[in-house]
Structure 1
Amino acid sequence: MHSALVIGGVGFLGSHVVERLVDDGNYAVTGSIVDATSILNAVEELKPLVVLHTASPVHGLPAYIYYEVNETGTRNVINACRAAGVKKLIYTSSTGVVWTGAEFNGVTEDHVPFPSKGYDAYHHTKGLGERLILSAEGRDGMQTVILRPCGMTGERDKQLIWRLAEVYAKKQHNVQIGDNTNLVDYAYVGNVAHAHILACTKLISEPDLVSGQTFFITNGEPRPQWDFARLVWKGLGDDGKGRIIQIPRLVGLIMAVFAEAFCRITGSSTQFTAFSVRFLTGTQWYNINKARNILGYTPDVPLEEGIQRTVKWWKQTGLAQHELQKMRKEM
């Protein structure tokens, strides 16, 4: 029996990783990874064979939080592993650490250079975390694996499904920016969790095969950007008969620039930014053959089925949680 410590085990992806580990070994969930003492105590007490670092803040927070968690927190995890003699560490990054707005048509891990600066604080600091993991590789016998999942959805998703459900509730789902010819990747969270278990198993049984390696993890089903959203809205009740209002990409960029300028003047905020327009209209899908061939990764749950599972969870549980959170913010 192998022991595994999942850092971020109560989070979206982390909770699915924990579920996958239950039948194979022990797991534990720790607190703030910003607190170096807390991390060290947890690792020293549990002495896991492998640590899976899945913790990360949600999108839309102040930049300093990402630096504290993704950079400082990752450094704390590495130091705790070294101090406790834990040699195996898996780090959850993101496909977005290498995307800077270029057209990515099935790129591989070795095909795209690592940018000096990511396109936002979340992905920039995820990249800083990757650099720390890579610098730890081989030191004192440390063996590491980096997984880069794309955007995920699934049960307990408190970001993507929440945003799409709000758009649908506000009856804004018939507005489309761009011509919807750009292919993008999404993944069902259970498949990404499965990739973590495969990486864990390989790092234990065949460390020379995977140590120091980075893997893109997606569902392997790139599709037009707005098709994904419309599958979600279909599950929420959209009949697909409404007229689509298409805003050209250039017009969308100009509108976003004015929206951001207005927010700077008034001190308000907006999610309609130039970056969001570039993201919605850019091609961004990744080749996962390396994960297939080395980890033995197969996305068992098709994306459309994953969306159906997400929407079912949303109707049964997620919506109520969302409304409760809104009420607490308003109090």
Structure 2
Amino acid sequence: MAPGLTYVVTGGCGFLGSRIVDMLVEREKNISEIRVVDTNLRSRPSTADRAGVEVSLIHGDVTDMAQMTEACAGADVVIHTASLIDVLGLVSDATLWHVNVKGTENLLRCCVNEDIPSFVYTSTIEVVGPNRRGDPLVDGDESTPYDSSCLALPYGRTKAAAEAMVLRWNGLKTNGGKTLHTCSLRPGGIYGDGEMPVLGFYKKRGVGIFTRPMKRICPPTVKVSRLYVGNVAWAHLLAAQTLVTSPETAGGEAFYISDDTPLKDDDTLYAELCAPIGIRYDDNLVLPLWLLYFIAHVLALVRFLVKPFYTFVPLLNSEILTIQNTTFYVNYNKATQLLGYKPLFKWAESKQRTSDWLVKWKAREFS
């Protein structure tokens, strides 16, 4: 029997990457090796290695071309989830660009140099919006017009630049004579069982998050696309399979990924997910929205004035307010048609899995 494919998963120890690795082991049939590449190897994908599938951990930084060349040598598929996410301005624009754009370029060059024909990029809905004006997007698809020229966050701008590059490279010839096929997946905000980014914020707030309601900064009239991590991982497997078996179907395409998670504002959604551990949110905004924006602009001015002497990073900025208060949701019809994507996990199961994991997290972190 011919050997299976070799997959490289960057960011493979992260929240999404580790789930992709687990799902590859559990569900992908034509596979013999998974190379889990990450700068932080403290965590190990939870699934035990399946007979005949080798899972190896590789310390590697996507900005290091030599490390990526070594990690990718002889591979068949690259799934690139690694990126630097920043919504508070903790990281410079130059660093974001170096990791998110230059790092992606390094991996694309590895595909060409090492004769790798399939590249799946983890993008984000934020490559489209919301923009600084807070223009809404209602049930958008990949062809829905939207002004993305003034994205709210530098993170979104770097991901947009990286995605555009990924799609431009589709169809290039590799050094070994193969054709490189690329595609991009655009999930909204991701939740689920695992180290969700929001948990860092909760942990910093201490035990007080369980004893008094969290302050709401967006009204319940807002609707946004959020989805379960297992469904995002499943979409990556389908995208990779499609690039391998019928590359002309998905090559050069971007896909919105969503599921049946109820369309709600973030505060309402996370209050529902976190109810079993006692986290609640106020019913009303902590302050009128115009006043929150005013405070955010004042904080931005203070940050600018003290920048030569002190690094001040406020927890509130106008970009966060815009994203939190803009109705912005999409459908996944194109992914269904071209990738065969349908969510593996329904909302009830996604919610239960997330809540069960949060109970264990609370016991571990606040015991």
Matched, 1:66 2:104: no
CA RMSD of aligned residues (A): 2.5
Contact kept in structure 2, 1:180 and 1:281, CA below 8 Å: no
Query: Gapped runs of 5+ residues in structure 2?
Result: 38-59, 174-178
Q: Paired residue for 1:55, among 63, 82, 87?
A: 82
Instruction: Measure how far apart 1:160 and its partner are.
Output: 2.0
Matched, 1:236 2:236: no
SS of residue matched to 2:35: coil
CA distance in structure 2 between the partners assigned to 1:239 and 1:126 by the alignment: 32
1:74-85 paired onto structure 2 within 5 Å: 74-85=104-115
Contact kept in structure 2, 1:164 and 1:232, CA below 8 Å: no
Instruction: Measure how far apart 1:116 and its partner are.
Output: 4.0
Aligned AA for 2:80?
A: H
**Percent identity between the two aligned chains:** 26
Match of 1:328 in 2: none
Q: Paired residue for 1:163, among 178, 201, 217?
A: 201
Q: Paired residue for 1:145, among 180, 183, 207?
A: 183
The CA deviation string for residues 245-282 of structure 1, in whole angstroms up to 9 with x for no partner, is 55332222112222323333444211211111111211
Contact kept in structure 2, 1:8 and 1:54, CA below 8 Å: yes
CA distance in structure 2 between the partners assigned to 1:243 and 1:282 by the alignment: 18
The CA deviation string for residues 218-243 of structure 1, in whole angstroms up to 9 with x for no partner, is 22434220321211331222578x76
Match of 2:10 in 1: 7
CA distance in structure 1 between the partners assigned to 2:283 and 2:191 by the alignment: 27
CA distance in structure 1 between the partners assigned to 2:254 and 2:196 by the alignment: 26
Worse overlay, 252-261 or 123-132: 252-261
Match of 2:52 in 1: none
Match of 1:94 in 2: 124
Worse overlay, 219-228 or 77-86: 219-228
Query: Which of the two has greater helix per residue?
Result: 1
Q: Paired residue for 1:28, among 35, 38, 51?
A: 35
SS of residue matched to 1:139: coil
CA distance in structure 1 between the partners assigned to 2:62 and 2:147 by the alignment: 25
Instruction: Measure how far apart 1:298 and its partner are.
Output: 1.5
CA distance in structure 2 between the partners assigned to 1:323 and 1:260 by the alignment: 33
The CA deviation string for residues 178-225 of structure 1, in whole angstroms up to 9 with x for no partner, is 432011111110110000001111111121111111101122434220
SS of residue matched to 1:48: coil
CA distance in structure 2 between the partners assigned to 1:92 and 1:142 by the alignment: 17
TM-score (norm 1): 0.88
Worse overlay, 96-105 or 243-252: 243-252
In the alignment of these two chains, the number of paired residues is 320
Contact kept in structure 2, 1:222 and 1:285, CA below 8 Å: no
Query: Gapped runs of 5+ residues in structure 1?
Result: 325-331
| Counterparts in 2 of 1:274 and 1:258: CA distance versus 1, 3 Å | same
| Counterparts in 2 of 1:40 and 1:170: CA distance versus 1, 3 Å | same
CA distance in structure 2 between the partners assigned to 1:68 and 1:114 by the alignment: 25
Contact kept in structure 2, 1:165 and 1:233, CA below 8 Å: no
SS of residue matched to 1:277: helix
1:175-254 paired onto structure 2 within 5 Å: 175-225=215-265, 226-238=267-279, 244-254=284-294
Match of 1:41 in 2: 70
Matched, 1:107 2:140: yes
